[in-house]
Amino acid sequence: MIFIPTMVFRWFSEALFFGLIVHACLQGQRFFRGQGSGHFVGAAVSAAFAVFILFHQQFPACLLHFLFGCYCLFSGLLSAVQFLINRKNHADGGLFFFFHTAAAFSIGVFALTHPNTADEVLQIYGLYFILLGIRYLHDARQSKIFESAYHWHRKLRIAMPALAAAWLPSWFIHHFIRTRSDADRRKSDEQPDLKIMVHVGEKGIQKIGHITFCLDNIVYSFGNYDRSASKLGSILGDGIFFTAPYRAYMKNIIVGEKNTIVEFGIRITAAQKKAIQTEIEKLKTAAVRWHCPLETDASGREQKLKEDYACRVYARTGAQFYKFTQGIFKKYWAFGGNCALFVDQALKKLQASILDFRLIMSPGIYFDWLESEFAKKNSPVISRTVYLAEDFQSSI
């Protein structure tokens, strides 16, 4: 990508052309076997696109350039929303989001108005993948050696692309179900004081997942739980977190909500535990007790349980809700102040380098980090357990 971008584009065009031809043939074969007229449509579309690629081999370069510009504009828009939220709530981080917005919009506009810079865009991708590869090599090295004193540090971490990371937990679950590998893997027999749970749902946006943490058998979960204050399809709303007993919460999420959970156990020191507890109390001081609709009015119970997750988690676990009145979590924003940032706020006390300097945050970013840390011989991530609804035992 860095040294021969034009040739890379040509290779990609040729691979795309032959891939479309193969796909068209397979679809045509299924149509002639009487497996449905939809396969004929698929074959026709693939063949037409292959012919288009044959006579427009510069199309992949134009497409990549266009997508890069659109991504920058989209990133700038998300950053602008977070900037406005932080400014309205008098929260920290406004300057970073302001400059990020300006930079992203500038690069996006430049890319869309200068189509002859496709090679430069590909070179940027090449540099990024080299840095990502170096990070993976570093992680691999640490997975093979034993360090007598292993310490986490808050530092810039090169993560995989945000879109790929968002779907990483779902991909892992599908792989796990196919291979049926060990559901419970441990590097130590000790019971972890801190647990991080990555949730994956069955369909739609739930596949991107949710993330919570558990300390002293109490689960802490942040999200957009007030349906009456939700906006833009629930990606924006009032920031609320709840606490619930671990066993009851796990049973509700896995059996009641049909989610799969990948739980990572983390060894922490007494000082780290106290620091996290102090951070939790600090978060509580920025919030007030909030009551879900089922708490304030028991009428229409069945309908409320059907439509409102907050009501279900309250009825099944006795959860207590807290709505933020100030700070960065006063507003829930799916692409910024979300569940991943909430977990990171507590884990900052461990000095773990997870989400530093990232704009689009997702549970998948955390999953990627937890997986790499679990692979390292003596890291504090000492266990990984997968809970499937179909295999769930009430004795959890």
Q: What is the DSSP string of 315-375?
A: HHH--EEEEE-SSTTSEEETTSSSHHHHHHHHHGGGT--SSTT-SS--HHHHHHHHHHHHH
Which of 366-389 are b and which e, b meaning 16 or more Cβ less than 10 Å from the residue's Cβ? bbbbbbbbbbbeebbbbbbbbbee
377: CB partners within 8 A, 6+ apart? 142, 143, 144, 145, 146, 147, 187
Q: What angle do CA 162, 194, 358 make, to 5 degrees?
A: 20
CA nearest to 313, candidates 219, 229, 239: 219
45 within 8 A of 23, measured Cβ to Cβ: no
Q: CA-to-CA distance for 358 and 200, rounded, in angstroms?
A: 22
Q: CA-to-CA distance for 188 and 273, rounded, in angstroms?
A: 19
366: CB partners within 8 A, 6+ apart? 196, 198, 211, 340, 343, 344, 354, 355
305 within 8 A of 315, measured Cβ to Cβ: yes
Q: CA gyration radius for the chain?
A: 24
381 within 8 A of 374, measured Cβ to Cβ: yes
Map tokens 């427009």 to a residue: 56
234 within 8 A of 208, measured Cβ to Cβ: no
Helix (H, G, I), strand (E, B) or coil at 220: strand
- The whole-number pLDDT of residue 253 equals 92
> What totals of helices (H) and strands (E) does the chain contain, helices first?
14, 11
CA nearest to 289, candidates 322, 319, 241, 244: 322
* Structural domain spans, the chain: 5-122, 160-391
Residues of the chain falling short of pLDDT 70:
146-151, 153-156, 180-181, 204-205, 352-360, 390-396
Interhelix angle 5-32/59-88, rounded to 10 degrees, is 100
Map tokens 């449905």 to a residue: 36
Map tokens 């924006």 to a residue: 236
Q: How far is CA 231 from CA 147, 335, 385, in A?
A: 48, 14, 35
Q: CA-to-CA distance for 64 and 53, rounded, in angstroms?
A: 14
Q: How far is CA 361 from CA 4, 85, 94, 154, 355, in A?
A: 32, 16, 17, 16, 7
- The whole-number pLDDT of residue 394 equals 46
- The whole-number pLDDT of residue 87 equals 87
